[in-house]
Amino acid sequence: MPTMNGRSALRLAKLQEALASGGTLHLRDAAELCDVSEMTIRRDLTTQATAISLLGGRLVMASYPGVTPIYDLTEQQASHYQAKYRLCQRALAFIEEGDTLFIDCGSTLIPLLSQLSHFQELTVVTYALNVANAVAVLPNVRLVLLGFLCCLTVVWQR
């Protein structure tokens, strides 16, 4: 019987064969093809060196045209920066004292974060560490990092 790594390698080989024509395969279909759960396919893709990428719930060969296997946040922040900045300036006009904002991961709203420092009362909810790091230094902005409440001041009592 193959080891876990052996079974994983067999599944990945089967998926590569299915993707050889340059198409895509939905994660659900990949799981059915290999007779395992979607989570097993995800685990295989993240724990094994493979030429397959998972993008938007679809498996594609990393060599497939248009596939960028590595997301570089720094590169994305610089990409179209002026357009992102203008968008954030417009969005800022809709934010009022006491508002709660949900800011997703990615780079589009990063220019907005530095503009939030003039608010006296604001809450930002996020799951993204890059957003949390930028918001954590803003004095009057309450940061809710999903999973727990993050605060800057901690009082220890003995």
Check: CB of residue 103 under 8 Å from CB of residue 128.
yes
- For residue 96, the model assigns a pLDDT of 97
Kindly list the distances between the CA atom of residue 97 and the CA atoms of 86, 87, 125, 151, in Å, as whole numbers in the listed order. 21, 20, 15, 19
Cβ of 72: how many Cβ atoms within 10 Å?
11
Kindly list the distances between the CA atom of residue 67 and the CA atoms of 35, 51, 86, in Å, as whole numbers in the listed order. 26, 11, 28
Q: Is residue 43 part of a domain?
A: yes
Q: Is residue 95 part of a domain?
A: yes
* Confidence band for 1, pLDDT divided at 50, 70 and 90: very low
- For residue 49, the model assigns a pLDDT of 74
Amino acid at 90: R
Domain count, the chain: 2
Largest CA distance in the chain: 66
Q: Is residue 155 part of a domain?
A: no
- For residue 158, the model assigns a pLDDT of 46
* Confidence band for 64, pLDDT divided at 50, 70 and 90: low
Give the structural domain span for 85: 74-150
Question: Which residue in the block uniquely carries the two structure tokens 């990949």?
Answer: 30
* Confidence band for 35, pLDDT divided at 50, 70 and 90: very high
Q: Is residue 123 part of a domain?
A: yes
Residues 100, 145, single domain; the answer is yes
Mean pLDDT of 107-122: 93
Mean pLDDT of 105-132: 92
Question: What's the pTM?
Answer: 0.52
Mean pLDDT of 24-39: 93
